Amino acid sequence: MKHAQVSDLRKQLNHYLRLVHRGETVMVLNRSTPVAELHPVSPQRATDKFDTLEKKGILHRGTGRLPASFLKKSLHGKSAKVLRALIDEREKGR
């Protein structure tokens, strides 16, 4: 386990974050008194948070695939006008 004074952590945050990213744990000290620990987030813990958000209806995970018809749908309303204007501008070479 690495140790870092708060003042050193402030000056060299990127260095300590790289250590944590590599799997190290860093004990943060304030005048030699431990005040915090920096450690890698476990993938399971991150997954648990996503599960919680999904159960609350805040997050909806996709399947990673778009339906085949997605790119064939035509746009309507303002979106279609903006798209048409963009295509016209590109065709005119502006």
What domains does the chain contain, in order, with CATH numbers? 1-59 (3.40.1620.10)
Residue 77 clears pLDDT 80, i.e. is over it: no
Instruction: List pLDDT tens digits, range 17-47.
Output: 999 999 999 999 999 999 999 999 877 776 7
Quote the pTM value: 0.47
Q: How many CB atoms lie under 10 A from the CB of residue 19?
A: 17
Higher pLDDT pick, 93 / 2 = 2
Q: 53-78 b/e with 16+ CB inside 10 Å = b?
A: eeeeeeeeeeeeeeeeeeeeeeeeee
The answer for residues whose C-beta is within 8 angstroms of residue 83's C-beta and 6 or more apart is 75
**pLDDT at 65 (0 to 100):** 82
For range 58-64, the mean pLDDT: 84
Higher pLDDT pick, 11 / 64 = 11
